[in-house]
Amino acid sequence: SFSSPRRTIQHERLTMKFSAVVLALALGAASAFAPVNNRAMPRTVVQAQEPWVATLYPYADGVSAPAATATAEKGTKQDFLEASPYYDMSEIPVNTYKTKSPFVGKITSVKRIVGPKATGETCDIVIDHQGKMPYWEGQSFGVIPPGTNPKNGKPNSVRLYSIASSRYGDDMTGNTATLCVRRATYWCPELGAEDPAKKGVCSNYLCDAEPGTEVKMTGPSGKVMLMPEDKPETDIIMVATGTGIAPYRSFWKRLFIEETPAAEAYKGLAWLFLGVANSDALLYDDELQSIKEKNPDNFRLDYALSREMENKKGGKMYIQDKVEEYADEIFDRLDKGGHIYFCGLKGMMPGIQDMLAEVCKSKDIDYDAWLSGLKKGGQWHVEVY
């Protein structure tokens, strides 16, 4: 599947020159030197998007990763997309593709991942980027939906989505990325129905897409949500509402599911807090429960289900209420160098910050100074929308 015209001609010449027996022996001998990983595969060298891309990502220059890696074998290590050392951040890919010249990917699957009683529809969407858009865990891709903006007649603008898979993709080839997208709709009280004129253009485009649909993509972008992999003993506290869970899925895939250098080195605690309306709205719960069972010393999981649980005051259990239950331990872990991440709707932050301020007050801590210290130490990570 990687034959170039030049290779085809050379092969034909060999066939003419040698007997079938000799050729069979040659092919048999060649098979004894099968590549150990993607870096060993032969490839056509063309100009990459950036000089560093061809070095770190051998398939970012227009050649797809070999078909033989389409399904990773159990026990196969994911190590062919690593920096050297693996935690080196000096060459993180950023804005490889921009709005004026986006990459055209192809959707391979779209599946609903919430139950029937969930408040809204959320989909897991896998996009094939052919290995040409390498990214790191915690980054985002931009998607440009087709059509024009009716307000100004200009092409639709780019929408950013946190990537919900590790750099290896859910198929472990490094050729795909997964997005976690909630269909944005607007219920009109006057109509007594959803108003199609006000629905989210890009989210509905993605959730309605069929396998094979082409998607214009930009990025990857962002360095705010990256993990501190140079300090594998660091506690990682992840706070999310809804699809804000996306970047954390890339974290837990890299640290607990895939056989990566980061997973081998990690000694800290990864602690996820997720706030959704009810049990049917939980996302990737099967993966999380499996990780929790297999890694009791390094992974913790707490849910805030606003329509099924009560906080200590008897009201609905929101994300800030669940975090507050463990305030003493969280503050202690942050004092010892832990990192805390927030991702989801921007409306989550006022409640969380008010709660943290109250906790600081109860501990006779200056909240502004405390928060400033976390930011200065690179321990405070926020990505809301």
Cα-only R_g, the chain: 24
Name the catalytic one among 229, 258, 324, 383: 383
Name the catalytic one among 161, 168, 266, 318: 161
Name the catalytic one among 12, 186, 188, 385: 385
Is 385 one of the catalytic residues?
Answer: yes
Q: Which long-range contacts (CB under 8 A, 24 or more apart) does 196-202 make?
A: 201/145, 201/147, 201/156, 202/143, 202/145, 202/156, 202/159
Is 343 one of the catalytic residues?
Answer: yes
Is 165 one of the catalytic residues?
Answer: no
Q: Mind giving me the DSSP string for 23-90?
A: HHHHHHHHHTT--SSGGGS-------SSTTHHHH-TTTTS-PPPGGGSSPPTT----TT--SSTT--T
SS3 265: helix
From residue 303, give the alpha-carbon distance in Å to each of 128, 173, 250, 352.
32, 32, 19, 15
Q: For the stretch 8-26, what's the b/e string if a residue is b when 16 or more beta carbons lie within 10 angstroms of its beta carbon?
A: eeeeeeeeeeeeeeeeeee
Name the catalytic one among 140, 162, 166, 250: 162
Is 207 one of the catalytic residues?
Answer: no
Name the catalytic one among 123, 180, 202, 343: 343
Distance CA 253, CA 170 (A): 9
Is 161 one of the catalytic residues?
Answer: yes
Which residues are known to be catalytic?
161-162, 343, 383, 385
